[in-house]
A = this chain, B = another copy of it.
Amino acid sequence: MATVQEVVRAAEDKTSTRPTMKAIAVLPGQPDSVHLAALERPRVEDIPGGRGVLVKVLRVGVDGTDREINAAEYGAAPDGYDFLVIGHEGFGQVVEVGPNVTTLQAGDFVVATVRRPGTSIYDVIGTNDMTTDDTYFERGINLRHGYLTEYYVDDAEFIVKIPQGLKDVGVLLEPTTVVEKGIAQAYEIQRRLRVWRPRKAAVLGAGTIGLLAAMALRLRGLDVTVLGLTPRPYLNSDLVEALGARYASTRELSLTDAARAHGPFDLIFEATGFAPIVFEAMQALGKNGVLVLSSVTGSDHRIEVPADKINLDFVLGNKVMVGTVNANREYFEMGVKDMAQAEAQFPGWLGRLLTHPVQGLERYRELIETLTIAKGAIKVYCEVA
């Protein structure tokens, strides 16, 4: 296998006089193809209209999506490349901005959004997370390189500033936006009720997303019950309890029983990745309640469900279920606010989620292995710089 120095030198020879940099990439369609690639270092001028922001990458989180892309379940390379740089949970520092960027400056800590606009009306109005296009452009996921590299450049429109006080946990912003969008969609939907003062919520799953959902719901003052698989006590249940929320293992308390004991649930946030629980949640949801689905479930499990009962409960209870994918800029901004409030209300809590750092892009193999097999990992991330 070539050394890093050899990879970089080879790329420099092949291309131009522009300096190159390292990146963690996959060959889409080829399982377990994660490798160290080299690509040209971007320049602020690459973005038209003087709107470019050149960012030095500091940390990048990885999650199930990265694992699935490396398993060749999805992901596509950008035009002109046979590889895709992965990593969509970025955190970095501005190096240089174009002449028409007024909101950011060199030295600012930043996180970039993931999806880039397509052509539908939802893309035009700045809500590309709601695109009706068939093709998505997502940095680190589909047709656009990600952040597991040394530098990236993008339009200031897609780059969100992180306050100094959040720099140690800024890498958690992207996963937080999943939660922010889901909860914001729920509240938007519930405007249909004129008055909605949710009191009790359930979060299904105690991984990174489940924990962040519990955090965001506690910040909104709800009584929160988190259901995970593992019996307490362990790190995740400790983190739930540190928020003043309740943790239970589904091995000891089913969702249905949890609803009886701790409901009715005005909101249920599903973040397990286990689809059968969605159908149990449809029934466990309280009257006028809203069930938010955020898990990507790529398998093909079939289960038996009480069809009449689920439908009847939905009708008689005026219930709602909503799916949520991706997040646009406004949810990144909401996430910053919630993370700031969390640091004020639960000091140090966010930092406890950063369980598994891996040093340097060169350790790409260790990064993916830690993501796949590490016991007790909450957030696995690469310390790039």
Stretch of A2-10, A102-110, A312-320, A335-343 with 4 or more beta carbons under 8 angstroms from chain B? A312-320
Copies in the assembly, this chain: 2
Q: Is the Cβ of B316 less than 8 Å from the Cβ of A296?
A: yes
Report how far A53 CA is from B297 CA in the complex, Å.
56
Report how far A295 CA is from B195 CA in the complex, Å.
26
Report how far A316 CA is from B130 CA in the complex, Å.
9
Q: Is the Cβ of B189 less than 8 Å from the Cβ of A121?
A: no
| Cross-chain contact of A311 among B127, B278, B319 (Cβ < 8 A) | B278
Min distance, Cβ A326 to any Cβ of chain B, angstroms: 9
Q: Is the Cβ of B193 less than 8 Å from the Cβ of A191?
A: no
| Cross-chain contact of A307 among B278, B314, B316 (Cβ < 8 A) | B278
Given contacts A122-B195, A127-B193, A297-B312, contact A276 B307 (CB under 8 A): yes
A-B contact pairs, 16 of them (CB 8 A): A121-B195, A121-B197, A122-B193, A122-B195, A129-B318, A185-B318, A189-B192, A191-B191, A275-B308, A276-B307, A302-B305, A304-B305, A313-B323, A316-B323, A318-B324, A320-B321
| Cross-chain contact of A189 among B197, B309, B320 (Cβ < 8 A) | B320
Given contacts A275-B307, A302-B306, A320-B322, contact A287 B193 (CB under 8 A): no
A325 CB-CB contact with B under 8 Å: yes
Q: 14 additional contacts, CB 8 Å, given A275-B312, A302-B306?
A: A132-B286, A188-B191, A275-B311, A276-B307, A278-B310, A295-B315, A296-B312, A297-B312, A297-B315, A299-B308, A301-B307, A314-B321, A316-B325, A320-B320
Task: Give the residues in chain B near A306, CB-CB below 8 Å.
Answer: 300-302
Min distance, Cβ A41 to any Cβ of chain B, angstroms: 34
Report how far A318 CA is from B331 CA in the complex, Å.
15
Given contacts A298-B312, A311-B297, contact A318 B130 (CB under 8 A): yes
